[in-house]
Amino acid sequence: MTTLDPKLKAAARTVAAHAYVPYSDFPVGAALKTADGRVFTGCNVENRSYPLGMCGERNAIGAAAAAGVRPGEIRELVIYMPGDRLFSPCGGCRQVIAEFLPADARVWATNDGVSFKEWTAEELLPDGFSFDGLEPSV
């Protein structure tokens, strides 16, 4: 079993303080580590059109992608939420996680306490949608 990286937890907690959450009042921060050791963070950003809000997980992965990180290069993702309850990533985040993290990459949910939940990317979205094996139509 792997262990939760305290530096990633601290980075996720720090960025959660920058979340824009006037509607849910539920700040979430995410920090990820790439195969070469780079760390990227993101927080949730809400707006009045709820479906257009962005989760911390997707913002962290988007920041990594903007820096040139490609699918398969992210090794670990930590999601921080305040309080004592833990939640898993939403469905949209699960799809993005499935596309950018290898199936065996670790995803952690953590909070202000010492508790955490741990999954592999594949456990979060078993049999996720993929274009693998499909022939392009020309």
Q: What share of the chain is helix, strand, coil (3-state, %, to 5)?
A: 30, 20, 50
- For 89-112, the three-class secondary structure string (H helix, E strand, C coil) is CCHHHHHHHHHHCCCCCEEEEECC
Catalytic residue list: 57
Place of tokens 């199936």: 103
Binding residues for substrate: 44-50
| Distance of alpha carbon 109 from alpha carbon 36, whole angstroms | 22
| Distance of alpha carbon 138 from alpha carbon 131, whole angstroms | 15
Binding residues for Zn(2+): 55, 90, 93
Binding residues: 44-50, 55, 90, 93
Residue 69: CB atoms within 10 Å: 20
